[in-house]
Structure 1
Amino acid sequence: MSARFQTRKWRRLDEPGLEVLHVRLEPDGILACSTVVHAGAEAFGMSYLWRLDRDWRTRRLELRLSGPSAETLRIERCDGSWQVNGRRRPDLAECEEIDLSATPFCNTLALRRLRGTGELTTLYVDLPSLQLSPSRQRYTALGGNRWKYTDLGIAKGFEANLDVDDEGLILAYEGLFETLE
């Protein structure tokens, strides 16, 4: 990151919603903390704390839903696999990174991991249900800071163009998110 601290604000385009993300470089990696308000048909609030290593790979994601259920979820990378709320999940071992459905920030992690056109399997977290499942994705470099996202798993056939800044943070996610100044 060019600065030690960065803030990004996104507005949802498909339903009412807003996210405010703060990303900070730390001595041992990167810390991303965010608040999401989704005011669509299935309204929820959420905050997350995402700890990444220096290569932008997930070490731990702590997520808290607000509202009647007020559920929490902790996902940690552990010995080549994943732990969810302290329990090993061998069914998720093939997952290379996390895809949190309510934020475009997770696309940054996939793009940084691939560093070009490629595919990966993500640990997809559906919100607000918190259901977890592996899901395959493809990212195609379109030149400059533009990418094409293709879902090959959970939402098979879904495609969208992504515009990113020089750090790989999403500026625009076609049909779903746009940056607010």
Structure 2
Amino acid sequence: MSAVVYWRRTDVEGLERLELTTGPGGVTASGTVVCLEDGGFRLDHTWSLDADWRALRVEVAVRGAHVHGALRLERAGDSWLVDGVPRPDLDGAQEPDLSVTPFCNTFPIRRMRADEDLTLDTAFIDGPALTVARSRQRYEPLGPGRVRYVDLGLSQGFEADLTVDDAGLVVRYEHLFERVEPAR
């Protein structure tokens, strides 16, 4: 199955196009974010996920007014490598979270049970800065297709209600993103 999803930023001027392909061996996704934040930038991200939607690898490249570069984050058992170098500070982090896309919220949302909060550590990638740091998040079910995101780490105190589709992809992320359809 293949799909193309578009999100619009609601806090600053920006748009993302994500192409998603699911198959028996797993999921691949590639997206492009164009944003006027931080002097303007373009960020490309490519994902490899297993069949359970656990991230195996993400490659990020950014070009903009203040930054130009790339990084690769890949799973190594319960650890993570950043550009091939072990990062012990990320050991045990369950998933990556890339700051400029709501796509990453899908990974924990697909693992949530309808009646239980899910708290996890992430390898948080600040997209425009190309940095990776450990952070903590909680997802709280609010009913069918609705989840509350609570940041317990780097942006502690930030909360947002998310509306998701049947695949767990964000339709609306309070304060930040909303799905849009291309004109026909």
TM-score w.r.t. length of structure 2? 0.93
Aligned to 1:154: 154
Residue pairs, 1:46-57, within 5 angstroms: 46-57=43-54
Say if 2:108 and 2:118, in contact at 8 Å, map to a contact too: no
| CA distance in 2 between partners of 1:157 and 1:137 (Å) | 10
Give how far 1:70 is off.
2.7
The root-mean-square deviation of aligned C-alpha atoms, in Å, is 1.2
**Equivalent AA in structure 2 for residue 85 of structure 1:** D
User: What SS is found at the alignment partner of 1:133?
Assistant: strand
Aligned to 1:86: 84
Give the total of aligned pairs: 178
Give runs of ≥4 in structure 1 deviating > 6 Å: none
| CA distance in 1 between partners of 2:121 and 2:39 (Å) | 26
Aligned to 1:140: 140
Give how far 1:94 is off.
2.3
| CA distance in 2 between partners of 1:26 and 1:143 (Å) | 28
| CA distance in 2 between partners of 1:115 and 1:154 (Å) | 25
| CA distance in 2 between partners of 1:127 and 1:78 (Å) | 21
| CA distance in 2 between partners of 1:115 and 1:99 (Å) | 20
Give how far 1:43 is off.
2.0
| CA distance in 2 between partners of 1:25 and 1:170 (Å) | 17
Residue pairs, 1:76-115, within 5 angstroms: 76-115=74-113
| CA distance in 1 between partners of 2:133 and 2:3 (Å) | 30
Give how far 1:42 is off.
3.9
Moved more, 93-102 or 19-28: 19-28
Residue pairs, 1:68-83, within 5 angstroms: 69-83=67-81
User: What SS is found at the alignment partner of 1:107?
Assistant: helix
Match of 2:22 among 20, 25, 28: 25
- Which consecutive unaligned segments of at least 5 residues does structure 1 have? none
Say if 1:64 and 1:73, in contact at 8 Å, map to a contact too: yes
Give how far 1:27 is off.
4.0
TM-score w.r.t. length of structure 1? 0.94
Give how far 1:110 is off.
1.7
Over the matched positions of the two proteins, sequence identity in percent amounts to 46
Asked if residue 128 in structure 1 is aligned to residue 128 in structure 2, the reply is yes
| CA distance in 1 between partners of 2:135 and 2:99 (Å) | 11
**Equivalent AA in structure 1 for residue 47 of structure 2:** W
Give CA-to-partner distance per residue, 1:29-87, whole Å, 9 cap, x none. 10010000011244211101100000000111011112364311111101221011011
| CA distance in 2 between partners of 1:127 and 1:76 (Å) | 16
